[in-house]
Amino acid sequence: MCLDGHTYAPESMIMNMDFYNRLTEEERAWIDEASAYARDTQRQMVTDMEEEMLKSIESKGVKVCREPDLESFRNVTETLYQDPAVTALVSPELTEGVRAAVAEYEAEHEEMGGSEND
């Protein structure tokens, strides 16, 4: 099993902006503080659960690669999206749109000094 970081399980807090904007400054501060606390708590809980699950599967003999060579994986799969088996399931237009969006995102974050793990 390789931990390649391809999934993320966030919890979302959704609120109508009209409702939020009608709150007092103090009430918005409460919401903001509670939201930050919930976010941080959820992230720590997921991290803890993942570590427990990894220890459990490792104890059963599964080898876990915690730092896979992602560049090699990218190189090997670079043109996979063009495979007929893939294009039969996912339109090339959608794939190209996603690739363009990813390239744009990466370019923007590179300009801001971010890393690929942001």
Are both 20 and 55 inside the same structural domain? Answer: yes
Are both 54 and 90 inside the same structural domain? Answer: no
Which domain covers residue 15, as residue numbers? 1-69
E strand or H helix at 117, and its extent?
none
Tokens 């919401």 — which residue?
A: 31
pLDDT tens-digit series, residues 16-61 = 999 999 999 999 999 999 999 999 999 999 999 999 999 999 999 9
pLDDT confidence bin for 75, thresholds 50/70/90: very high
> How far is the C-alpha of 30 from the C-alpha of 41, rounded, in Å?
16
Q: How many structural domains are present in the chain?
A: 2
pLDDT confidence bin for 114, thresholds 50/70/90: low
> How far is the C-alpha of 110 from the C-alpha of 12, rounded, in Å?
27
Are both 11 and 64 inside the same structural domain? Answer: yes
Are both 8 and 59 inside the same structural domain? Answer: yes
Are both 53 and 85 inside the same structural domain? Answer: no
What's this model's pTM, rounded to 2 decimal places? Answer: 0.58
Are both 88 and 52 inside the same structural domain? Answer: no
Q: Distances in Å between the alpha carbon of 81 and those of 54, 92, 96, 97?
A: 30, 8, 9, 12
Q: Distances in Å between the alpha carbon of 100 and those of 58, 71, 95?
A: 38, 19, 9
What is the largest distance, in Å, between two alpha-carbon atoms of the chain? Answer: 57
> How many other C-beta atoms lie within 10 A of the C-beta of residue 31?
14
Are both 4 and 38 inside the same structural domain? Answer: yes
